[in-house]
Chains A and B, each alone.
Chain A
Amino acid sequence: MKKRLLSIALAAAMTVTLFGCGGTSSDTTTSSGDSSSSSASVSSSDLNIMLETAVESLDPQEATDGTSFEVIADFTDGLMQMDEDGQAVEAIAESYESSDDGLTWTFHLREDATWSNGEPVTAADFVFGWQRAVDPDVASEYSYMLSDIGQIKNAAEIIEGNVDKSELGVTAEDDYTLVVELEAPVSYFLSLMYFPTFYPVNEAFFNECGDSYATSPDTLLSNGAFVIDDYEPAATAFHLTKNDDYYDADTVQLSGLNYQVIQDSQQALMSYQSGDLDMTLVNGDQVEQVQDDDEYLAVGAGYLWYVAPNMDAVEELANENIRFAMTYAINRDSICEDVLKDGSAPTYTAVPPEFATGPDGSDFSADQTMFADVCSYDADKAAEAWEKGLSELGVTSLEFDMIVDSDDAPQKVAQVLKEQWETALPGLTVNLVVEPKKQRVQDMQDGNFELGLTRWGPDYADPMTYLGMWVTGNNNNYGLWSNSEYDAIIEECTTGEIAQDEEARWQKLYDAEQIVMDEAVIFPLYTQCNAEMISSNVTGVEFHPVALNRVYKRAVKSE
């Protein structure tokens, strides 16, 4: 029996689509659901999972970080959930429809969903949760998911405090019908519904708990696959157990989830090797130790790392040729393979690959050579552009400071970048200025930098989560770049007529990206991967680069 299991696991591991390793999908599953449920014997033991950081909040409207989202989604279902490919599929909503103008969405809720205190999950719970998200008294950090991104009626006004939260464009028509009104059609609206900010909260229970809501098992309600039964704020270890009252309880094979926060990666790997963990993250240096192992898996994390040149404040960087020279001089393959080693993928587009799927089901940035003429590794072109740029500026040497986070990976990448630039571009000196992350972000937002190494993670599965950044006046448009043509396209794709025509919108987004790349507004470097180890007797864990990074609902652990 053991042998057979092993072979199944091996087969499963082989069918896995690896992100950054030639795969086509970033949404990675450790096995297809069918093979595991039909043949593998089901174990009753818990899945032991390593976390890098502790949970910040289990309140769905207050949480902002990936760890918290993952755990909240373990025990809470929204209207929709992610399937193994990262597509939105029905969860609490049984069915849904949208009006022809795309401004009204109606969700019909399933009637067999209950909270863990026995109360049914109703449309009113969603109304309460969403109103909390925009309530200025709650001041949720993710309120912009409802306003700027979700375009829900009156959300922006409520957040500013001009309109009462009861005016939010979401109403409970009856207990099981939820109607949402939008300001403008949003093509990716369904994919927002699995984002925890949109999760329901039971009003009566919330009021009972008062300030202590979501701080202990007693002050948390579950309507999802698991129930939290051991937790305290900022705990380094906590536990969830299977929810037998879950409407989809038959799908859930695990008896529970056992989380352990481990900040030191070597301790984590040792714990994994000694069998205390079923899943763990490993760092790039450790990959060498584990890369021949079948249990090793590189999982897309969605973050795009890039260098932002300050074109506004630094005259030399305002020169296009200098910027082109710098982006041509970067050997992104070497950064990923020789330095990071964790499976991170070299990226030559402003929107990273493998998180946004278009109307035809293909990945927005699947073609990494799309902008090859303006963004590639080409030492000759780099030298040529450099010469040209220098003569235009009338100088023979340049010196730039690059600000870098004090974390491990950015420091490594920055050291290689410095070496690559200084080798390929004679006369260039790059000084690295290492700063705590908070300082680095502030410096970039204040325009107090020359070059900055930074990253951006997608908030939702649409290229706009990146392209929206380079609009004139955006907080994260660090180089203060401004292009009216670009602004017009983005405006059109957000609120214009085209917003409903998915095909046309998609093409327009490419046009916008083309402008960013043509002017070398950023130097994209790589899309981050996480190197994970997953025990060979665990299958069905789903990895996603957006919103919910890991989903365990369909995971199976065999003995």
Chain B
Amino acid sequence: MADIANENKYPDDGYSQDLFVLKEDAADITIDENFASQSFWKEVRAQFLKKKSAVFGLIAIIIITLLAIFGPGMNSYSYSDQDLSQKNLAPRVAWLEGLGIFDGSETISTTSGSKTTNGYEDSGLSDVYYWFGSDTFGRDIWTRTWSGARVSLIIAVAAALIDMIIGMSYGLISGFFGGKVDMVMQRILEVSNGIPRLVIVTLLLLVLSPGILTIVFALMLTEWIGMSRIARAEMLKLKEREFVLASRTLGAGSFFIIFKEVLPNIIGPIITQVMFSIPTAIFTEAFLSFVGLGIPVPQCSLGSLISEGFNSFTTHPYQIVPPIIVMALLMLSFNLVADGLREALDPKFKEM
């Protein structure tokens, strides 16, 4: 097939050229070299399921994701509808009311002593129920918490996936080619790592209008670095391995080796890193909200809900509690799952 073209590639070296056939980038050179095979994943799954904390984390993530999808639709409120006559009402749940909890009463500690009030009774709202209470605009915190969780999850997962693609490609290419390419790419990385995130994000918000996309973009710009370091380190480890050499000998191109040969073998650490970078993204978004550069009002994310509730921290603590708990659970769960995955994939894997 390709023999004619390769006729003069290897000048006469004493062997008959008929003995060897260069395969170039043909499909069949990928057949055997991946040691990430079917049974490997089966074992990973078994290992993962053995770790209880990781399973707990996975379940928690699934539940929160389901609530983020369906939670806002579970009552009649919307995340942006204001009713200023029903502002700052404490949580009230119909079937818990009788037990004396979640009955809509709250104790406010004022400078002149603490007082207990029930906003529902005071305003005669006998059949109004805000499960998590209402905020300073009279918006339902239940609906806002789950809409916020939805936005946070979208931002975090999108940012983590984009990080993965960019950081991974960058690290793999840098590691594979080494030498001058690596040198230049690592300097670029150091430069972008050296500029404070807040400066970049502030500037970004001027170029792009604020919103989910901008925040994802901002997170991406700053978070890919960790991913690329891991990918590069893995590449450095693997590129001298036999299966890479074999592929090279068979005439495979650089990009073929990087993405078809090496990538499948480092997918484990990469996935683990993605799992770790999701909570980081959620957290960074919360920080951006706190400095006023988060999601534009009246939309909300967990971060913006927390920074809104922050001002009422000492007055109406119930306003900050739901988003804090959801965020903490998410952070914890993603970390547990990531830990579990890492061990399942490679018990000796070290964080970079």
Listed in ascending order, the chain A residues whose CB lies under 8 Å from chain B are 265-266, 269-270, 273, 283, 285-286, 288-293, 295-296, 334, 338-339, 406-408, 411-412, 414-416, 418-419, 432-436, 439, 533
Contacts of B41 in A (CB 8 A): none
Choose one: B136, B296, B315; the contact of A433 (CB below 8 Å): B296
B297 to A407, Cβ gap below 8 A? no
Q: Flag whether B222 is at the interface (Cβ < 8 A).
A: no
Q: Please give, as numbers and ranges, the residues of chain A lying within 8 Å of B310 by CB-CB distance.
A: 266
A290-B111, A434-B297, A439-B205 known; 13 new pairs, CB 8 Å cut-off, are: A265-B311, A285-B312, A285-B315, A286-B314, A288-B88, A289-B111, A293-B111, A293-B112, A415-B298, A416-B82, A433-B209, A434-B210, A434-B292
Q: Does B110 contact A (CB under 8 A)?
A: yes
B contact set with A: CB distance below 8 Å: 80, 82, 84, 87-88, 108-112, 136-137, 202, 205-206, 209-210, 292-293, 296-298, 310-316
- The smallest C-beta distance from A429 to any residue of chain B, in angstroms, reads 12
A232 CB → nearest B CB, Å: 24
* Cα of A339 to Cα of B137 in the assembled complex, Å: 7
Q: Bound state CA distance, A289 and B311, in angstroms? A: 12
Cα(A270)–Cα(B108), bound, Å: 15
On whether the beta carbons of A334 and B84 are closer than 8 Å, the reply is yes
Identity of the chain B residue whose Cβ is nearest the Cβ of A341 in the assembled complex: B136
Q: Within the assembled complex, what's the spacing in Å between the Cα atoms of A265 and B315? A: 12
Q: Is the CB of B84 within 8 A of A339?
A: yes
Q: Is the CB of B292 within 8 A of A406?
A: yes
Given contacts A433-B210, A439-B206, contact A416 B137 (CB under 8 A): yes
Using A293-B112, A339-B136, A419-B82 as known contacts, say yes or no to A436 and B315 having CB atoms under 8 A apart: no
* CA–CA, A290 and B292, complex, Å: 26
A304 to chain B, nearest CB (A): 22
Interchain CA distance A432-B209 in the complex, whole Å: 11
Listed from nearest, the 10 A-B pairs whose CB atoms lie closest are A406-B292, A338-B84, A285-B311, A293-B111, A419-B82, A289-B110, A285-B312, A434-B296, A293-B112, A290-B111
Given that A285-B315, A419-B82 are contacting pairs, would A293 and B296 also be in contact in the complex, using a CB cutoff of 8 Å? no
Task: Contact check, B110 vs A292: say whether CB atoms are below 8 A apart.
Answer: yes
CA distance A412 to B228 in the complex (A): 40
With a cutoff of 8 Å between Cβ atoms, the chain A residues found around residue B84 in the complex are 334, 338-339, 416
Instruction: Kindly list chain B residues whose C-beta atoms are within 8 Å of the C-beta of A415.
Output: 82, 137, 297-298
Alpha-carbon distance between A432 and B295 when the two chains are bound, in angstroms: 11
A414 to B80, CA, bound (A): 13
CB-based contact A266/B314 at 8 Å: yes
B311 and A273 contact, CB distance less than 8 A: no
What residue in chain B is nearest A270 (Cβ atoms)? B314
Cβ-defined partner of B297 (8 Å) among A283, A291, A414, A436:
A414
Instruction: Pick the residue among A290, A338, A339 that contacts B110 (CB under 8 A).
Output: A290
Q: How far is the CA of A55 from the CA of B215 in the complex (A)?
A: 33
Contact A436 B312, beta carbon cutoff 8 Å? no
Q: CB distance B210 to A435 under 8 Å?
A: yes
Give every chain B residue within 8 A of A408 (Cβ-Cβ). 292, 311
Name 23 interchain pairs, CB-CB below 8 A, sorted by A. Answer: A265-B311, A266-B314, A269-B111, A285-B311, A285-B316, A286-B315, A288-B108, A289-B315, A290-B110, A290-B111, A292-B110, A293-B110, A334-B84, A407-B292, A411-B297, A414-B297, A415-B82, A432-B298, A434-B296, A435-B205, A435-B206, A436-B202, A533-B111
- A289 touching B82 by the CB < 8 A rule? no
Roughly how many angstroms separate A77 CA and B22 CA in the complex, as a whole number? 92
In the complex, which of the residues A265, A295, A411 contacts B111, with contact meaning CB atoms closer than 8 Å?
A: A295
CB-CB nearest in chain B for A286: B315
Contact A285 B137, beta carbon cutoff 8 Å: no
Assembled-state Cα–Cα distance A435/B211 (Å):
11
Complex formed: what's the CA distance from A228 to B351 in Å? 53
Chain B residues with Cβ below 8 Å from A338 are: 84, 87
